Structure 1
Amino acid sequence: MCKYMPKDCFNKEEVTIAYFSMEIGLANSMTTYSGGLGILAGDTIKSCSDLNIPLVGVSLLNQEGYFKQVIDSEGNQIEEPDPWVPKDHAELQPEIVSIWIQDKEVKVRAYKREVKGVAGYSIPVYFLDTDFEGNEEWHRSLTRHLYGGDQLYRLAQEIVLGIGGFRMLQALGFKNINKYHLNEGHASFLILELLSKTATKSDLGWQFDPELVKKTCVFTTHTPVAAGHDHFPFETVKSFLGAYFPYNMVEGAVRDGQLNLTRMALLYSGYVNGVAKKHGQITRDMFGDSEIDHITNGVHSVTWTAKSFKRIFDRYIPGWREDPFTLRSAWGIPSEEVWEAHMEAKRKLIAIINEKNEGFSEDVFTIGFARRFTQYKRPNFIFRDEKALKEVIRKNGKIQVVFAGKAHPKDFQGKEILKEVFDIAKNPKYKVKVAFLENYDMGLAGHLTSGVDIWLNNPQRPMEASGTSGMKAAHNGVPSLSILDGWWIEGHIEGVTGWAIGEEKYRCNDELAEKRELQDFYKKLAMIVRYYYKDREAWIKIMKDAISINASFFNTHRMVHQYVLNAYFKTGIIAANPVENGVEAANKE
């Protein structure tokens, strides 16, 4: 697999790519992430370090985390702080930069975490921090809570990320960045900072160079859900940032008085992508932009492969850690060793489940569902027809189901769905054994995606941008049973890598579509359970196909190669670093 820089040559002068993300999940003990976006960002950086990509990461410290989920005896979700200790995981840097919010100075510092790749190349990730002496209390709080507070708190956080992040990189000595990758719209205020740096004075006043900024920016959008695209009152943005920035240059991103950060990123990014083929199409339709591309997400193979599978991959596929594409050779691993690796992971998961539940068995077919609890992801889909579910069991064999996932603190409908699942799990009379595991995090995700027998995903189409949990499962030989949405449209081969629920396209209303999906689901589930119990050798073949076909492709090494070729290098030679131009000189006048 291609390496982009020799391992011993890392220095700041050669770093040309800056990766900005509101959350970056690097380790379970660093609660700097809420879910898929942050974990994907962490996996991306890990693969960049494995491939020697000259990149630096920027995020917020999020010292109190997202939240620790506690479920009370009634099934209600309680959100508690989930703090981590920065000095135990990262090194405080001496540099301090200033930004201005509502005409008040806010000082920003950073903690550096080194991410070392398989060959020794290290990538620094800087976590921005405002919680120190010299800042007002509200300003100190801005880097404590991921997605916390009200709209004004969120606005200020995103100013810290985009503008504070740029200034911190400059202070740290990263002078040769020619690509800024915005992982979702949270960092879009970076664009205003970059525009200001292109200013030149003329007889007509200050002129700016939007084309230079477009050549410099890459933007990845992650959701087709409208609520996932941040927007703020334009006048409030101006009052927060002050008169310094060229607001007239971003008026094209204003709708009904609201500055839409996704639209601002679309206006000023030379390369824009969705995170799966279908999502790219949906995003083009949403924003009327035919230039939006797609790069399908992946997962970091070494991170998400269970220890039992790592051992057999090391034995039979040497080099897979450096080049996950070689996992296509997994079909040649002896079936009995694949099964034993799976059962080792399954026994670990069953032990975790039985710590707070009773009666889960390693001999029973186990279904896994773990993701954010919200209406469109339909966590209770499997329970819609209890009679049909009981009939599947009566005719084909026992099943048990394990759930995990958090509802957003303000998603009250999602919390009610979680409570419904919890009530079923605690009902001793329910025919199916069900467990809900609280506080879904990276550690629990690793056990779930490697320890179940099949991975269930049943969102409402076309709301799933990509999804990555099924990719993690595939790395451990766990096939998917999924709606044809997101990545599964590309990864699905019926009866080979898993099974589809319903069809990709329906010419009917949502209610009738769901009815058809349910009918197909119970029909497929009956066949799968029978298959699992009656034909073990054929089942193991599907496990190996999931690894050799899906794990070998749906990984962040392949994804990063596509970003390098399609996004980072595609726009050609980049002009001089924007910071060397314009306003920098004007400010000295």
Structure 2
Amino acid sequence: MSTLDAFLARTRVAYFSMEIALRAEMHTYSGGLGVLAGDTARSCADLRLPVVFVTLASHEGYLRQEIAADGSQIDHPDPWRVADWATPLDAMVGVAVEGRTVWIRPWLYRLAAADGYEIPVLLLDTRLEHNDPRDRGLTDRLYGGDDAYRLGQEIVLGIGGERLLRALGFEVGIYHLNEGHAALLTAALLKRHPHPLEVPAEGQLRYDTEWVREHCVFTTHTPVEAGHDRFDYAMAMRLLGDFLPEDQLKPLAGEDRLNMTRLALNLSGYVNGVAERHAETARKMFPGYVVRAITNGVHAHSWVHPAFANLFQSLAADWAHEPEELVRADQLTDTELWSAHDAAKQDLIDTVARLGGVKLRMDLPILAFARRITGYKRPDLLFSDLARLRALNARHPFQLVIAGKAHPHDEPGKALVHALHAHLRELAGEIPGAFLPDYGLDLARVMVAGADVWLNTPQPPLEASGTSGMKAALNGVLNLSVLDGWWWEGWIEDVTGWGIGASGPASDHANELYDTLEHKVLPRYYQDRARWLGMMRASISKTAPRFNSQRMMRRYAAEAYLR
């Protein structure tokens, strides 16, 4: 336990997340939720916040994406060796899953800030010889398997994670649930705190819900119904056994199905969405609950290209710790700004040549789109009218770079991957373009820095936040995005970028997108470079000071943890 001694005395907050992007070699993340958790952890280390992070080991990762000759996505496991990056701790706890005891061992990953200050990340592991073979794989595949597998994982994370913190000696005052996957943590706390009344009235819960609410924070991330885990009670009670009686669980988690979001809402005293618009949507989805808004941010130092980092260092030596200092980016000269952008763009061009086999040009603007490939994100909106796209390119040539994975169970999403490849093949020879496979942390860093324009075209109001646009803005890349998520707050038309959907129906977004490219974006790139550079400066100076994870975590600390 000696490896934990330094952490035990100072740690007071536990942050639970099914996924977390700590580094590219550790395949413990799938997308935005995990990347946000990783940026959160890095800012906690920078700010010396007393937080321990709890997640799953995910030995087999999420998925490694291969693209077949016809453009179809082929899914592969994405294994990694936990022992290469983390240290096993000499402790185990057991949880009951379907009547079997499942033992959980934690691994410790020490996340260090630039000044050497470390915070602990616990990776929960059931791949142990003590366990039944059926249970050893519970911490193997992130978001893999059926509902029973998923609920088993959530038992390990929520119930097992809470028990491990106590077993290791952590004294936690606040538990932060990053999405509903860890909602059983609240039930674990509930079970440890019986109702202060000796004999509760008939029909009254037998547990002290107020105590639990005082100690729990819940961040909900998705306005998409499919993103909220729900389980049939028959299956859930089979796996949970007598952990909590069904009649005590239903008033908190829903009468029809075990709803993890509902459980977290009912047992968390502070609930927030991840952007102002998302919080509004969440209030409509969950009437009767107070849902606040803390807009997501990104860890500036992790996402800025080295060429821009050098520029920022000349402006403000402490910019990485205090990204608010980047308000000074409006002092950058045209020459140094464009030179830094050229360095980032060349890195992207080199990456496209290596991964996509396509040679792009420095003198043509690069439009980039990189998201999880799924229906509501509308990655094919740009290709709604190929004839018009060709006409745009004839007047103002441009290039396309696309990346993203579809969930293994999302067949419509996989169909979109195939369709995107078909569009790029049809346009080949006219519009240079590439789909880069296996989108992850390393590729994301190159894309958000090297593009000229960052596209985002979700179906509103289904975009919760959308942090990739923030990362692009840090590097002076201009956003062209539907007005949803964070962009509603960051958008200043013709200053930080361009918005789609300020008025009019979503059904007209494709025409708006083409109109904006035709009349604003592309002409400005070619005909008014001075104003383009001015917008690049504004993109940095007006968005970086606000949409960073340092500011985000200061808000969580002040408003959620110290309430």
TM-score category, normalised to shorter length: over 0.9
Distance 2:208 2:559 in 1: 23
- What per-residue deviation string (whole Å, max 9, x for no partner) do you get for residues 282-320 of structure 1? 000001034110110011111111111111111222100
Q: Distance in 2 between matches of 1:502 and 1:198?
A: 49
Partner residue of 2:559 out of 561, 566, 575: 566
Larger mean CA deviation between 334-343 and 154-163 belongs to 334-343
SS in structure 2 at match of 1:427: helix
4+ residue stretches of structure 1 with deviation over 4 A?
Answer: 200-203
Q: Secondary structure at the match of 2:426?
A: coil
Counterpart code for 1:183: N
Partner of 2:20, secondary structure, is coil
Q: Secondary structure at the match of 1:99?
A: strand
Shift of the 335–79 alpha-carbon distance from structure 1 to 2, 3 Å rule, reads same
Contact map agreement 1:108 1:164 (CA 8 A) in 2: yes
Structure 1 CA distance, aligned partners of 2:206 and 2:353? 66
Letter in 1 for 2:391: E
Report the more deviating stretch, 397-406 or 111-120: 111-120
Equivalent position of 1:543 in the other structure:
536
Q: 1:186 aligns with which of 167, 181, 185?
A: 181
* Cα contact 2:352–2:359 (8 A) shared by 1: no
C-alpha deviation, 1:375, in angstroms: 1.1
Determine if contact 2:358/2:433 at 8 Å carries over to the other structure.
no
Residue in 2 that maps onto 1:337 = 336
Displacement after TM superposition at 1:540 (Å): 1.1
Q: In the alignment, which residue of structure 1 is the partner of 2:9? A: 13
Q: Provide the rounded CA distance (Å) in 2 between the counterparts of 1:14 and 1:386.
A: 58
The one-letter code matched in structure 2 to 1:268 is L
Tell me if structure 2 keeps the 8 A contact 1:407–1:415: yes
Contact 1:10 1:54 in 2 (8 A): no
Name the counterpart of 1:373. Answer: 373
- Code of the aligned partner of 1:450: A
Amino acid paired to 2:86: A
Letter in 1 for 2:352: I
What SS class does the counterpart of residue 434 from structure 2 fall into? Answer: strand
Report the more deviating stretch, 293-302 or 199-208.
Answer: 199-208
Match in the other structure for 2:190 = 195
Distance 2:130 2:166 in 1: 21
| Secondary structure of residue in 2 paired with 1:109 | strand
1:450 corresponds to: 449
1:367 deviation in Å?
Answer: 0.1
How does 1:348-359 map onto structure 2 within 5 Å?
Answer: 348-355=347-354, 356-359=356-359
Match of 2:219 in 1: 220
CA deviations 1:487-511 (Å, max 9, x no partner) are 00000000110001132x54x5xxx
Aligned residue number for residue 266 of structure 2:
267
Q: Give the distance between the partners of 2:71 and 2:513, measured in 1 at CA.
A: 27
Letter in 1 for 2:517: L
Contact 1:103–1:242 at 8 Å: present in 2 too? yes
Residue 289 of structure 1: SS of its match in structure 2? coil
CA distance in 1, matches of 2:245, 2:300: 43
Give 2:74's aligned residue: 78
SS in 2 for 1:426: helix
Kept after mapping to 2: 8 A contact 1:473/1:479: yes
- Alignment-derived partner of residue 54 in structure 1: 50
Q: What's the CA shift string for 1:296-351, capped at 9, x where partnerless?
A: 00111111111111111112221001111111111112221111111101001101
Q: Secondary structure at the match of 1:105?
A: strand
Q: What secondary structure is seen at the aligned counterpart in 2 of 1:369? A: strand
TM-superposed CA distance for 1:207, in Å, is 3.6
Output the CA distance in 1 between the equivalents of 2:294 and 2:449.
25
CA deviation profile, 1:337-380 (whole Å, cap 9, x unmatched)? 11111110100110111123233111111000000111111111
Greater mean alpha carbon deviation, residues 561-570 or residues 156-165:
561-570
Q: Does 1:34 align with 2:26?
A: no
Residue in structure 2 matched with residue 5 of structure 1 by the alignment: none
Q: Taking structure 1 as reference, are residues 132 and 539 closer, same or farther at Cα in structure 2, changes over 3 Å only? A: same
Match of 2:496 in 1: 497
Per-residue CA distance 1:259-278 (angstroms, 9 max, x = gap): 10000000000000010000
Percent identity, aligned pairs only? 43
Match of 1:578 in 2: none
Q: Is the 8 A contact 2:490 2:496 kept in 1?
A: yes
CA positional deviation for 1:216: 0.5
**2:312 matches 1:305:** no
In structure 2, the partner of 1:582 is none
Q: Distance in 1 between matches of 2:58 and 2:529?
A: 46
Matched, 1:525 2:520: no
- Give 2:209's aligned residue: 210
Give the deviation of 1:234 after TM superposition: 1.9
Task: Judge which range, 483-492 or 314-323, deviates more.
Answer: 314-323
**Mapped pair 1:360 → 2:360:** yes
Contact 2:20/2:55 (CA < 8 Å) preserved in 1?
yes
Per the TM alignment, residue 553 of structure 1 is displaced from its structure 2 partner at its CA by 0.9
SS in 2 for 1:354: helix
1:434 is displaced (CA, Å) by 1.5
Separation (CA, whole Å) in 1 of partners of 2:245 and 2:546: 43
Asked if 1:439 is matched to 2:438, the reply is yes
1:430-454: CA deviation from partner (whole Å, max 9, x where unpaired): 6321210000000000000000101
Q: For each residue in 1:25-80, what CA deviation from the matched residue of structure 2 results, as whole angstroms up to 9, or x when unmatched?
A: 11001010000000000100100110010000000000110000000101110011
Q: 1:254 to 1:52 in 2, by over 3 A?
A: closer
Contact 2:109 2:122 (8 Å CA) reproduced: yes
Moved more, 95-104 or 62-71: 95-104
Counterparts of 2:134 and 2:256 in 1: how far apart (Å)? Answer: 26
- The residue correspondences of 1:507-522 to structure 2 (distance < 5 A) are 513-515=506-508, 517-522=509-514
Larger deviation: 365-374 or 306-315? 306-315
Residues 459-516 of structure 1, C-alpha deviations (whole Å, 9 max, x = no match): 111110111000000111101000000000000000110001132x54x5xxxx322x
| CA shift for structure 1 position 201 | 8.3
In structure 1, list runs of 5 or more residues that go unmatched. Answer: 1-8, 571-589
| Equivalent residues of 1:298, 1:468 under 8 A apart | yes
1:404 paired to 2:403: yes
Distance in 1, Cα, partners of 2:186 & 2:53: 17
Letter in 2 for 1:557: Q
> C-alpha distance in 2, partners of 1:471/1:400?
21
* Residue correspondences, number: 553
1:94 aligns with 2:90: yes
1-structure distance, mates of 2:427, 2:458:
28
Question: Which segment is superposed worse, 350-359 or 149-158?
Answer: 350-359
Any conservation in 2 of the 1:69–1:80 contact (CA below 8 Å)? yes
2:473 counterpart residue number: 474
Give the TM-score of the pair, scaled to structure 2.
0.96
Output the CA distance in 1 between the equivalents of 2:162 and 2:187.
11
State the TM-score, normalized to the length of structure 1.
Answer: 0.91
Kindly indicate whether the alpha-carbon contact (under 8 Å) linking 1:106 and 1:135 is maintained by their aligned counterparts in 2.
yes
Which amino acid in structure 2 is aligned with residue 361 of structure 1?
R
2:164 matched residue in structure 1: 168
Q: How does 1:404-423 map to 2 (within 5 A)?
A: 404-423=403-422
Q: Deviations over 1:65-115 (max 9, x none)?
A: 000000010111001111111111111111111111111111100111111
Q: CA deviation at 1:389?
A: 1.6
Tell me by how many angstroms 1:253 deviates.
Answer: 3.9
| Unaligned ranges ≥5, structure 2 | none
- Relative distance call for 1:392 and 1:226 in structure 2 (3 A) is same
Contact 2:177 2:218 in 1 (8 A): yes
How far did 1:255 drift? Answer: 4.0
2:279 — aligned with what?
Answer: 280
